[in-house]
Amino acid sequence: MKTLLLFLVTALAEIVGCYLPYLWLRKGGSAWLLVPAAASLALFAWLLTLHPTASGRVYAAYGGVYITMAIFWLWAVDAVKPTRWDLLGAGLCLAGMAVIMFSPRAA
């Protein structure tokens, strides 16, 4: 559970760090949005170091969580309701993440 929560917070930090420059560049937001964006991306990089397993495995599994969080961001922030295909794809990505992160390993 701790690992999944850490993945969710990491994904949120990355999405916010990328969304704020989008608001500045595409939606006419203030350049000051780049300050919290940089802080959010720094937080994202630091959070990746807290994951308890090999970095390559973490990055691979993190992708599934990121995709799922992006779909829910689309719904919550951009007010675009995900299709059943979006949700199915996110579910498949989470299943892949679970296989990568939680499969038995030799000691």
Average pLDDT score over residue span 16-35: 96
Does residue 70 fall inside a structural domain? Answer: yes
Does residue 55 fall inside a structural domain? Answer: yes
Q: How many CB atoms within 10 Å of residue 26?
A: 8
Average pLDDT score over residue span 24-32: 95
- pLDDT at position 60: 81
Number of domains in the chain: 1
Q: How far apart are the first and last CA of the chain?
A: 22
Q: What is the pLDDT of residues 79-99, one digit of tens each?
A: 999 999 999 999 999 999 888
Q: In degrees, to the nearest 5, what angle opens at C-alpha 47 toward C-alphas 76 and 85?
A: 35
pLDDT, the chain, mean: 90
- pLDDT at position 54: 61
- pLDDT at position 57: 78
- Indicate if the pLDDT at residue 67 is higher than 90: yes
Q: At what angle do helices 84-102 and 55-76 cross, to 10 degrees?
A: 160
pTM listed for this prediction: 0.80
- Indicate if the pLDDT at residue 70 is higher than 70: yes
Does residue 71 fall inside a structural domain? Answer: yes
Share of the chain above pLDDT 90, in %: 65
Q: Which domain holds residue 61?
A: 2-102
Does residue 107 fall inside a structural domain? Answer: no
Cβ-Cβ contacts under 8 Å for 102 (sequence gap 6 or more): none
